Amino acid sequence: MTKELTDVVELFRRRTRSPLRPRSSDLIQAVFPTFRRVTPYDGALILGETDQWDRNLFIIAQQKPKPENLRTKEDLAKLNHGMLTAEDHSYIVRFLKRAVQRSNQGDPVSVITLIDTYGADISMESARHFQAFFIALLIRDFLTLPLPTVSVIIGEGGSGGALAIQMTDRRAQFDDALYATAPPESLAAIIFRDASKVREALLISKPTAVELKELGIIDQVLPAPKKVTDVDGYAKPLANFLEKAVRDLGKRSIKTLLRVRRSRARSFGVYINDARKKVSRWASLFRLTPLRRKPVPTPDLKTFSLTDKDIQPGVEWGELIDPVTTPNLHLKCGDMSLKSGGNEERGCGRIIPLSEFMAHHYVCPNCGTSRIMGAMGWINCLADADSFQELNRDLTAHNLLHPSLMTQEYIDFLAKQDQRTPFHEALVTGEGSIYGHPVALAICEFYFAGGSMGVVFGEKFFRLSEYALNKRLPMVSLCCSGGARVLEGTPALMQMVKTVNCITRLKRDGLPFISILGDPSTGGAIASYAALGDVILAEPNALVIFTGPRVMEARGFPVHEDDVRASALCRNSRKIYDNLEYFSDIRGIHEIAERRDLKHTIFKYLEYYYDSQPMTNRYWKTN
């Protein structure tokens, strides 16, 4: 790569996003002369086979459009900017099954993926077809695939669109390629609410190959040629890396490959040397702490006193409103948010006592309009009274995150989040009971950084899954998340892999995982663990989508929110059974339940699990 391009923004504009950069089809033609392409035959996805290096190679590639491909609007729609749709992901799932079948017939098979995409398709069409669920399924498939796998980021690696096919046994990236939590424009829209602040977003995300190798996200940096148009200059180091990786992995047992994949997935996010020992030794890893939290309301609620002449905003979170000792506090349905900015809210206009609103789990008892509920509210909603005890309460990003990612901007951001909630992170974990049945509980705290997935989120989820395995407990999660913690960079994206790995282990050990989708369930959470429940429940109005509406609108995509609310998606789920080949293991949302009914609905499935156990393995409450 040309040495003068040391600025990441210039690298992004002049190299990574260059329309003249070789595309996947160019490199495939140069490296694999006997490549045989299979369905689909055009668009953003390339699938095919070749016999090379003493192996049958199954190749999966993302294809950004070339300038000559963009002559008409129809061409642009067809090529979809190189972003894979739900249908494309369905093709990949079936292609991997075909590779396994070939291996079972006795042929030596390896899988190679070439990554070059802005991200996963964020159209409403893909959202309606469970795009996020497909991403979660592909992460799981690559973690458990009984074949050697290799991936290379040849241009741009954007978000879950890249991660869905990147988590392989060997991972490389060209030194002029970039891999980030989201496309830079989307990062800017999320962090700064301004899609034009690409420079600032890139500096925060640390997406270069050298940085990602240091973080353990890739294994090798490949040198790019001086000229961005030099196909052979890209093809030669690519071929050398692929041949060496394929030959080396072919000598290893599948058992070894699976073990190493699981170990890598567990390590994502723990970068400080001996971090687990410093924070919590394994001997004390499962120590429970009583919750002892007051039932205070979530922040941003617009409360007022009936003794006031005018409706005035309520006190700030830090003053700890106690609805028991302040019984005159009320709120108005349809005007409940301090952050509405004057925008009209849904609601019936009824004046509701704050204590009554909280007792109804932040749902208007008159019209059913709901507000986003924090972790404390969800714990009270789902667990038996006083049964919940917390695990790893004091684990924070300061304990785990790589020092280079603990920027002053992020430190200040975390300090502000601490003022909004009594919890120290976006995930609260522990043990509780549901109608007497003990369960391991993972509850999102939306009011800490929007419930976003960061390294602490992933580590706490992992530790809870270990706790569940140790005590043979069913695991129940409540998703209420805005996605990955973009201020942590790509390590936050890797928590999708880490949490999926936890769920696959639970399933291997025969423990049930019940996933509840609260409002909102978006981004990395719904595209990972939350989509892999043995049973998936949702509250009716939960927003369930990979890319949030604000980012979609900023990127120029139309938004129809009603189509991606849980009730609509649950209705769509019924159609899955008419096309099981397309959807593979995806079953969508199994059941809808109002907040007040969720506990009973969960209990129904827990009781079925416990009653199906052999008598000698049952948990007897009288013991």
Residue count of the chain: 623
- The position carrying tokens 């004390």 is 284
Asked whether the predicted pLDDT for residue 156 surpasses 60, the reply is: yes
**pLDDT reported for residue 274:** 43
Asked whether the predicted pLDDT for residue 108 surpasses 80, the reply is: yes
Asked whether the predicted pLDDT for residue 285 surpasses 70, the reply is: no
Q: What is the mean pLDDT of residues 385-406?
A: 89
**pLDDT reported for residue 7:** 82
Measure the CA–CA gap between 91 and 371, rounded to whole angstroms. 38
* Chain segment 568-602, per-residue pLDDT in tens: 999 999 999 999 999 999 999 999 999 999 999 99
Q: What is the mean pLDDT of residues 301-328?
A: 56
pLDDT tier at 109 (50, 70, 90 boundaries)?
very high
**pLDDT reported for residue 621:** 46
Element (H, E) at 68: none
Measure the CA–CA gap between 162 and 138, rounded to whole angstroms. 11
Beta carbons of 86 and 137 less than 8 angstroms apart: no
**pLDDT reported for residue 307:** 64
Helices 254-267 and 495-508, packing angle to 10 deg: 130
Q: What is the mean pLDDT of residues 378-389?
A: 95
* Chain segment 463-476, per-residue pLDDT in tens: 999 999 999 999 99
- The position carrying tokens 């995409």 is 117
Q: What is the mean pLDDT of residues 139-151?
A: 98
Q: What secondary structure does DSSP assign to 501-545, as a single string?
A: HHHHHHHHTT--EEEEEEEEEEHHHHTTGGGG-SEEEE-TT-BEE
Interior angle at CA 162, CA 160 and CA 163, nearest 5: 60
Q: Which two tokens stand for residue 487?
A: 């201020």
Options 3.40.190.10, 1.10.3720.10, 3.90.226.10, 3.40.50.1860; CATH of 8-267: 3.90.226.10
**pLDDT reported for residue 42:** 66
* Chain segment 215-253, per-residue pLDDT in tens: 899 999 999 999 999 999 999 999 999 999 999 999 999
Beta carbons of 153 and 179 less than 8 angstroms apart: yes
Q: Which two tokens stand for residue 245?
A: 């990786």
Interior angle at CA 299, CA 294 and CA 304, nearest 5: 95
What percentage of the chain has pLDDT greater than the value 90? 65
Q: What secondary structure does DSSP assign to 404-455, as a single string?
A: GG--HHHHHHHHHHHTT-SSSSSEEEEEEEETTEEEEEEEE-TTTGGG-B-H
Backbone angles phi and psi of 283, in degrees to 5: -65, -30
* Chain segment 531-556, per-residue pLDDT in tens: 999 999 999 999 999 987 777 776 67
Same fold flag, 8-267 and 377-613: yes
pLDDT tier at 434 (50, 70, 90 boundaries)?
very high
* Chain segment 170-181, per-residue pLDDT in tens: 999 999 999 998
CA atoms within 13 A on the CB side of 352: 29
- The position carrying tokens 């959807």 is 583
Q: What is the mean pLDDT of residues 347-351?
A: 90
- The class (CATH top level) of 377-613 is alpha beta
Q: Where are the domains of the chain?
A: 8-267, 377-613
Measure the CA–CA gap between 35 and 41, rounded to whole angstroms. 13
Say which residues have a Cβ less than 8 Å from residue 244's Cβ, sequence separation at least 6: none
**pLDDT reported for residue 404:** 79
* CA 23, chain centre distance (Å): 27
